[in-house]
């Protein structure tokens, strides 16, 4: 069964429905299994994990795309036209439900101006028979929804007629949400006097494509709920069971260049390697001045490369012989002496290591949007991955941040040999930005990961700022160290490029990487800049 990635799906649909001037909201998937409907938060949308199965069902024809479209369009209507976190005050639950119902109708009418034809689609989901079959006061609310949507009292019901009149009157007065509050509370009072019993704990908004409207209101419990949703959407997903398990942390020590004294501070910076383990080659790092790497791990044997079974010293792998040897070993019989294992390290011809600056500044949001620079960087990596795959260029993805010289954290999300899979994509989506930018140490570690692995390595740095850290009061110190490393890497045949997001302090990046190897772009143009970067890479890697 084809698998649909829920958050990617939602992002695509939103992109298709949005107006050019709109910015995509942040999208996340709630895997807590508690969320049943699409939730709207101030930061964007949060999908229930259960929706993934339904999305796959769309492709199988057993789930109607129209429900999904309505769900997304309704959410977008709220995001664009609703005022969030209105005080609950002394409103009773029925009042809140009715005011929310009126607001749902208001925003659905407004979004019809942006998404032509969506009004008819909403109407198609307002099934009259279904509305009548719900039972209790919920039936009355559902009937009102149908009548408001069709702008006609199709049930010839007194309360529906009154709701229609009050709704149109409230909107015609230009009162907006405040007028709807008044209309809703009057209607709720009327229904209450009719002894309608409303149990808010069992109430579910109808039709099912609409959200629970918790975003519209604020009280202690609502605050908590929103906070939980937001916190969850920001929590990294690597702990999820479908992601690769966390590997042991590896520790490296690197030198750092002091331009004032023209000296290398030996083994000065501590780098913690997280995420995937580098496949091979680390133990072969020579003790050189600038790239001294001391690997402290029991895993080093596991990284020595791959064993190749050879017969009679030939380079050919004989599968039958390999099986025979495995059987012999399993049965504790001495295998044929002419068959032996030969250590061999795979070396790729060329490849690109993408290094993402995940420092705190990447959390800055693009003006007037919910999108952060880190979000754009993640998207850029996705585009770049498509380019690399189409051009068959091996690539790896890593990210870094630093918290003083004693804690530079580098996470390898994808190595050169593994394919670009959903798990790695999700690992990248779980990336969080924090702390500072000790770029020099990160670049030295990139050299460690690339040099023995590739004949023609290239490092592409994605950054929105310049090197800095809290233990470096001299603002020149770290960029001069980075400049030193870049020069040294190039001497060793490692290409280094930079995509600088935002034009502020771009000249420092140009000093570090050189003007010709630095592409500067504004955040909104990152996709275009990626193409330019890719062209440069193509020129470097034939």
Residues that bind other proteins (CB under 8 A): 2-5, 8-9, 11-13, 15-18, 55-56, 58-59, 65-66, 68-69, 72, 115-118, 120-121, 124, 379, 382-383, 386-387, 390-391, 527, 531, 534-535, 538
Per-position DSSP letters for 390-455, written without gaps between them: HHT--EEEEEEEESSTT-EEEEEEE-SSS---HHHHHHHHT----SBB-HHHHHHHHHHHHTTTEE
Which secondary structure element, helix H or strand E, spans residue 507, and what is its range? helix 506-513
**Least distance to other proteins from the beta carbon of 355, Å?**
22
**Least distance to other proteins from the beta carbon of 455, Å?**
22
In the complex with other proteins, the residue whose CB is nearer, 13 or 160, is 13
Half-sphere exposure (Cβ direction) of 504: Cα atoms closer than 13 Å: 5
**Least distance to other proteins from the beta carbon of 263, Å?**
44
**Least distance to other proteins from the beta carbon of 425, Å?**
11
In the complex with other proteins, the residue whose CB is nearer, 61 or 245, is 61
Q: Which is nearest to 396 in space by CA: 267, 278, 519?
A: 278
**Least distance to other proteins from the beta carbon of 483, Å?**
30
**Least distance to other proteins from the beta carbon of 65, Å?**
5
Residue that the structure tokens 């609310």 belong to: 141
- Interstrand relation of 250-258 and 263-275 (parallel, antiparallel or unpaired): antiparallel
Q: Peptide bond before 379: cis, by omega within 30 degrees of 0?
A: no
In the complex with other proteins, the residue whose CB is nearer, 116 or 156, is 116
In the complex with other proteins, the residue whose CB is nearer, 121 or 417, is 121
In the complex with other proteins, the residue whose CB is nearer, 163 or 352, is 352
Hey, CA dihedral for 28, 29, 33, 36, is it positive or negative? positive
**Least distance to other proteins from the beta carbon of 167, Å?**
24
Are residues 198 and 93 in contact, defined by beta-carbon separation less than 8 angstroms?
A: yes
**Least distance to other proteins from the beta carbon of 188, Å?**
33
In the complex with other proteins, the residue whose CB is nearer, 44 or 184, is 44
Query: What span, in angstroms and rounded, lies between the C-alpha atoms of 264 and 290?
Result: 7
Strands (E), 276-394: 306-311, 339-344, 348-357
In the complex with other proteins, the residue whose CB is nearer, 57 or 176, is 57
As given in the structure block, the two tokens for residue 435 are: 């702390």
**Least distance to other proteins from the beta carbon of 240, Å?**
18
In the complex with other proteins, the residue whose CB is nearer, 249 or 538, is 538
In the complex with other proteins, the residue whose CB is nearer, 405 or 414, is 414
**Gyration radius from the chain CA atoms:** 29
**Least distance to other proteins from the beta carbon of 382, Å?**
7
In whole angstroms, what separates CA 147 from the centre of its chain? 40
**Least distance to other proteins from the beta carbon of 383, Å?**
7
Neighbours of 458 (CB within 10 A): 24
Per-position DSSP letters for 217-228, written without gaps between them: EESHHHHHHHHH
In the complex with other proteins, the residue whose CB is nearer, 341 or 391, is 391
In the complex with other proteins, the residue whose CB is nearer, 4 or 171, is 4
**Least distance to other proteins from the beta carbon of 430, Å?**
18
The residues, ordered by sequence, that sit 6+ positions from 217 with a Cβ below 8 Å of its Cβ are 85, 86, 87, 88, 96, 100
Per-position DSSP letters for 109-156, written without gaps between them: HHHHHHSTTHHHHHHHT--HHHHHTS-THHHHHHHHHHHHHHTS-TT-
In the complex with other proteins, the residue whose CB is nearer, 126 or 451, is 126
Q: Which is nearest to 58 in space by CA: 128, 4, 118, 130?
A: 4
Query: What span, in angstroms and rounded, lies between the C-alpha atoms of 126 and 147?
Result: 9
As given in the structure block, the two tokens for residue 5 are: 């990635």
Which secondary structure element, helix H or strand E, spans residue 216, and what is its range? none
């Amino acid at each position: 069964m084809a698998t649909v990635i829920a958050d990617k799906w939602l992002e695509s649909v939103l992109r298709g429905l949005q107006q050019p001037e709109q910015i995509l909201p942040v999208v996340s998937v709630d895997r807590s299994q508690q969320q049943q409907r699409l939730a709207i938060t101030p930061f964007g949308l949060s999908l229930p994990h259960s929706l993934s199965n339904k999305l796959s069902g769309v492709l199988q024809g057993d789930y109607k795309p129209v429900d999904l479209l309505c769900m997304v369009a309704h959410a977008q209507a709220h995001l664009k036209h609703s005022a969030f976190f209105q005080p609950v005050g002394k409103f009773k639950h029925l009042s809140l439900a009715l005011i929310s119902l009126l607001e749902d109708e208001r925003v659905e009418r407004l979004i019809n101006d942006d998404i032509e034809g969506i009004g008819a689609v909403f109407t198609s989901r307002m099934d009259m028979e279904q509305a009548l079959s719900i039972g209790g006061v919920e039936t009355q609310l559902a009937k009102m929804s149908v009548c408001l949507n069709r702008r006609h009292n199709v049930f010839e019901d007194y309360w529906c007629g009154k709701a229609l009149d009050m709704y149109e009157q409230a909107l015609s007065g230009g009162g907006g949400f405040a007028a709807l509050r008044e209309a809703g509370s009057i209607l709720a009072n009327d229904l209450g006097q009719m002894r309608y019993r409303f149990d808010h704990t069992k109430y579910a908004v109808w039709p099912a494509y609409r959200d629970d409207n918790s975003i519209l209101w604020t009280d202690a419990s609502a605050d908590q709920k929103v906070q939980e949703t937001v916190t969850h959407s920001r929590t990294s997903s690597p702990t999820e069971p479908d992601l690769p398990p966390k590997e042991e942390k590896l520790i490296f020590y690197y030198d750092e260049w002091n331009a004032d004294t023209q000296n290398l501070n030996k083994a000065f910076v501590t780098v913690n390697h997280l995420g995937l383990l580098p496949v091979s080659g680390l133990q072969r790092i020579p003790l050189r001045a600038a790239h001294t790497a001391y690997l402290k791990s029991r895993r080093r044997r596991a990284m020595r490369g791959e064993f190749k079974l050879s017969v009679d010293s030939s380079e050919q792998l004989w599968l039958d012989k390999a099986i025979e040897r495995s059987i012999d070993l399993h049965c504790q019989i001495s295998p044929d002496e002419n068959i032996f294992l030969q250590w061999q390290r795979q070396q790729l011809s060329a490849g690109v290591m993408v290094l993402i600056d995940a420092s705190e500044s990447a959390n800055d949001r693009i003006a007037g949007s919910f999108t952060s620079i880190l979000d754009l960087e993640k998207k850029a990596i996705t585009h770049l991955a498509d380019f690399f795959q189409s051009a068959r260029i091996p690539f790896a993805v890593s990210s870094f941040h630093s918290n003083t010289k004693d804690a530079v954290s580098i996470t390898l999300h994808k190595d050169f040999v593994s394919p670009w899979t959903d798990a790695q994509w999700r690992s990248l989506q779980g990336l969080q930005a924090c702390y500072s930018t000790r770029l020099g140490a990160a670049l030295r570690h990139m050299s460690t990961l690339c040099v023995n692995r590739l004949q023609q390595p290239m490092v592409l740095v994605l950054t929105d700022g310049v090197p800095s850290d809290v233990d470096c009061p001299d603002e020149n110190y770290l960029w001069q160290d980075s400049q030193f490393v870049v020069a040294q890497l190039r001497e060793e045949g490692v290409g280094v490029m930079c995509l600088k997001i935002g034009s502020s302090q771009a000249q420092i990046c140009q000093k570090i990487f050189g003007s010709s190897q630095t592409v500067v772009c504004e955040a909104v143009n990152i996709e275009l800049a990626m193409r330019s970067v890719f062209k440069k890479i193509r020129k470097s890697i034939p």
